[in-house]
């Protein structure tokens, strides 16, 4: 019999419950529940519907435990980074997580740049400018416009940390999520309170940081009986870091996590010069990587949605076959702002190809060919900006199902196919390491 571990994988769109079973053959993964993660308008902002998310997650955990018929060995959550909730002095969530998509922080990075020099910021967070969606920028916005809320806060918790808090009642910040927040000093690997003081952001709500360790046991009656007493692990809480950890690439290998969006990352030494648009993220204490956020499958997904509405999409197998035989040589820049939210994605692509003088796609197969070629070239150019003498690439994530894109990537890189469920695999691996006392991933600050 194998040993079961539960991974809660939360994305900015949906959440899943996955059981990882370890036996003599390795680790197998089984999805047991899936649910939506949606926005709601709350307190004048686009917030995540946290109460609904929690309700759906608990229902998913109940069905998972019913299927297992026994208690798992452990449980842990991973999520997207940056967004957070605030607890009051009584430990109650009073500031619900606002989405990074909310426009309230637009231009906040420029405000930070006016107060902190680029060199100073690079020494602290690994890049010369903050990003508008970062936890740092969100807190700066609140410090200037919602100071009373920060003054009432006792604890800041990112999304996965909030779930751990719901499970076991212990408020602990995950190291990987903290490292991506732009609140952590990359040299000391602790909260950079000096930076926050310079920006007039309070720090009293920043607490303990943990990585790869048991932080408590499930002890809340809202959760299934089978989970009561099960160890809660703060593992690799950032989904991108978890996927990177699952692959564990060498220093000369890029990792492309390919989903709705794409994250292209490579291991780095601290203070190494990286492309300006890249962000530094921690994988585990002492291990850092630089990532470029790039367009992913959403361009093709938007096209397919248009074709489905028009009743002309032939299905994925026929679509891939049509892409395979297309000889269209069109090309466009997938990062073009015209593609962010067009009324009609095929029309937007057609216009971009016409504007740059390349061949204009006509058939559905042509569009698929142009999209895959353009994305592959985009990833290749992003990798080239790191000035590494390597073309090694490990591809992970749901985008592995896109055979035409993989074919085009192989023309530019030496491609290795990694796990489709890399994030969940990294989550499960960290749980197993924590229970076995493997302190390679564990450290508390």
23-37 pLDDT, tens digit each: 999 999 999 999 999
The structure's pTM equals: 0.90
Task: Assess contact for 346 and 367: CB atoms under 8 A.
Answer: yes
Q: What are phi and psi of 284, to 5 degrees?
A: -155, 160
According to the 3-state scheme, what is the secondary structure of 279-342?
A: EEEEEECCEEEEEEEEECCHHHHHHHHHHHHHCCCCCHHHHHHHHHHCCCCCCCCCCCHHHCCC
Q: What are phi and psi of 22, to 5 degrees?
A: -100, 125
Task: Assess contact for 210 and 204: CB atoms under 8 A.
Answer: no
Q: What is the pLDDT of residues 404-417, one digit of tens each?
A: 999 999 999 999 99
For 139, the 3-state DSSP assignment is helix
> Going along 88-154, which residue ranges are E strands?
93-95
Q: What is the pLDDT of residue 441?
A: 47
Residue 80 pLDDT > 90, yes or no?
yes
Average of per-residue pLDDT across 321-329: 96
Q: What is the pLDDT of residue 265?
A: 96
Residue 152 pLDDT > 70, yes or no?
yes
Percent of the chain having pLDDT more than 70? 98
Q: Checking phi first, is residue 229 left (phi over 0); if not, alpha (psi -120 to 50) or beta?
A: left
How far is residue 335's CA from residue 283's CA, in Å, rounded to a whole number?
Answer: 26
> Strands 279-284 and 287-295: what pairing?
antiparallel
Q: What is the pLDDT of residues 223-262, one digit of tens each?
A: 999 999 999 999 999 999 999 999 999 999 999 999 888 9
Work out the number of other CB atoms within 10 angstroms of the CB of residue 411.
Answer: 11
Q: What is the pLDDT of residues 198-219, one digit of tens each?
A: 999 999 999 999 999 999 999 9
Task: Assess contact for 49 and 38: CB atoms under 8 A.
Answer: yes
Residue 440 pLDDT > 70, yes or no?
no
Short-list 361, 354, 289, 353, CA closest to 126: 289
Q: What is the pLDDT of residue 164?
A: 98
Q: What is the pLDDT of residue 445?
A: 35
Angle at the Cα of 374 (from 369 to 378), degrees rounded to 5? 155
Short-list 359, 364, 352, CA closest to 304: 364
How far is residue 187's CA from residue 123's CA, in Å, rounded to a whole number?
Answer: 8
93-104 residues labelled b (16+ CB within 10 A) or e (exposed): bebbbbbbebeb
Q: What is the pLDDT of residue 216?
A: 98
Q: What is the pLDDT of residues 85-131, one digit of tens each?
A: 999 999 999 999 999 989 999 999 999 999 999 999 999 998 899 99
Work out the number of other CB atoms within 10 angstroms of the CB of residue 416.
Answer: 14
> Going along 24-165, which residue ranges are E strands?
26-36, 39-42, 45-48, 74-78, 84-87, 93-95, 155-158
Task: Assess contact for 57 and 35: CB atoms under 8 A.
Answer: yes
How far is residue 277's CA from residue 385's CA, in Å, rounded to a whole number?
Answer: 10
Average of per-residue pLDDT across 391-409: 94
Residue 443 pLDDT > 60, yes or no?
no
Short-list 97, 78, 14, CA closest to 240: 78
Residue 13 or 90, more confident: 90
Domains of the chain: 3-237 (3.30.420.40), 247-421 (3.30.420.40)
How far is residue 262's CA from residue 298's CA, in Å, rounded to a whole number?
Answer: 10
Q: Locate tokens 């820049």: which residue?
A: 333
Of 4-18, 72-86, 257-271, 352-366, which gets the smallest average pLDDT? Answer: 257-271
């Amino acid at each position: 019999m194998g040993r079961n571990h539960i991974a809660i994988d939360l994305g900015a769109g949906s959440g899943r419950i996955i059981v990882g079973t370890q036996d003599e053959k390795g680790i197998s993964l089984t999805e047991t529940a899936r649910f939506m993660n949606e926005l709601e308008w709350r307190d004048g902002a686009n917030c995540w519907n946290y109460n609904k998310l929690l309700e759906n997650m608990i229902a998913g955990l109940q069905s998972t435990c019913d299927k297992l018929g026994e208690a798992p060995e452990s449980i842990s959550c991973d999520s997207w980074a940056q967004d957070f909730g605030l607890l009051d002095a009584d430990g109650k969530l009073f500031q619900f997580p606002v989405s990074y998509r909310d426009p309230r922080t637009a231009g906040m990075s420029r405000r930070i740049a006016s107060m902190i020099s680029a060199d100073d910021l690079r020494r602290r967070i690994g890049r010369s400018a903050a990003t508008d969606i970062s936890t740092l920028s969100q807190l700066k916005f609140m410090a200037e416009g919602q100071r009373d809320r920060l003054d009432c806060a006792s604890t800041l918790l990112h999304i996965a940390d909030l779930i751990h808090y719901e499970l076991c009642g212990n408020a602990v910040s995950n190291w990987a999520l903290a490292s991506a927040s732009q609140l952590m000093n990359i040299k000391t690997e602790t909260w950079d309170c000096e930076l926050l003081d310079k920006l007039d952001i309070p720090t009293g709500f920043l607490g303990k940081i943990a990585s790869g360790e048991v932080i408590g046991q499930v002890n809340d009656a809202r959760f299934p009986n089978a989970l009561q007493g099960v160890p809660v692990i703060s593992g690799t809480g950032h989904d991108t870091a978890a996927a990177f950890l699952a692959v564990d690439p060498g220093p000369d290998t890029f990792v492309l996590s390919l989903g709705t969006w794409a994250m292209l990352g490579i291991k780095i030494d601290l203070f190494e010069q990286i492309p300006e648009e890249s962000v530094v993220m921690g994988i585990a204490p002492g291990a850092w990587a630089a990532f470029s956020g790039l367009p992913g499958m959403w361009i093709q997904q938007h096209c397919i949605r248009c074709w489905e509405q028009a009743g002309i999409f032939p299905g994925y197998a026929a679509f891939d076959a049509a892409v395979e035989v297309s000889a269209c040589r069109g090309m466009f820049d997938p990062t073009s702002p015209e593609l962010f939210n067009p009324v009609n994605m095929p029309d937007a692509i057609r216009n971009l190809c016409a504007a740059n003088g390349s061949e204009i796609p006509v058939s559905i197969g042509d569009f698929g060919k142009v999209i895959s070629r353009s994305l592959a070239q985009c990833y290749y150019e992003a990798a080239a900006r790191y000035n590494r003498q390597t073309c090694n690439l490990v591809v992970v994530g749901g985008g592995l199902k896109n055979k035409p894109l993989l074919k085009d990537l192989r023309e530019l890189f030496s491609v290795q196919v990694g796990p489709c469920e890399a994030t969940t695999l990294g989550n499960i691996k960290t749980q197993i390491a924590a229970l076995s006392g493997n302190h390679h991933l564990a450290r508390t600050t």
